Amino acid sequence: MDGDRVEIDGGIMEGVFKPIVEKFNFTFNCDIKRRGYYPQGGGEVVVLMSPVKELSPINLTERGTVTKIYGRAFVAGALPIKLAKDMSAAAVRCIRREIRDLYINIQPVREPDDRAVGTGSGIIIVAETSTGCLLAGSSLGKRGKNADKVGIEAAEMLLQNLKHGGTVDDSMQDQLIIFMALAKGVSRVKSGPITLHTQTAIHFAEQLTKAKFTVTKSEEEDPSNDTYIIECQGMGMINPNL
């Protein structure tokens, strides 16, 4: 699994993507054998999934309150563990300015040499809510980029995702579209402002399937929340082999 500047990270896949998409009534195991870092790559992940007859629709419209904030700041290769500690500390300080009453656990870790290719660093922070929602912020280090800045970027991304009031973060929005399109029944997801990736995913999902999407402004009690409801009448794809 490569830690890339644009693709979904292995930590996000395990900690956020997997538990959310399993709400569509399927399960899979994601075993990260080795992490690869830009520009070398070389990551390896093994995914095992049991086939299902059909996907169930989801209803993610209740955000609830934030109950936990946790994550990991990591280094690999030639980088010292101090960078991970600095990223973690900077992220905690940034979050503390907005959220004061929760314990924040961001573990600094060094990737084992036999499970990492190349040199890299980064941080992933996850907020868990009382209704089971998971929202994340992340950032990757690069040459010349201060460790504090990496931690602050991830913290600010998380805080921005929490501020809009949606049940999924901006990075997860478009990842759910294909599953909503294939599911049998009506799925509803409350999100923040619709990203370009999500608009594109909806366009192609409707072109390739019989699914129909609507996006409407959410009727919020708090007018400062910029939230939307993504609704989909799924095509109800059936696995003919089961």
Which residues are catalytic, by number? 197
Q: Both ends of the chain: CA-CA distance in Å? A: 31
Q: Is the peptide bond before 193 cis (omega within 30 degrees of 0)?
A: no
What letter represents residue 14's amino acid? E
Which residue in 234, 238, 230 sits closest to 198, CA to CA?
230
CA-to-CA distance for 33 and 2, rounded, in angstroms? 11
Q: How far is CA 222 from CA 99, 173, 226, in A?
A: 19, 21, 9
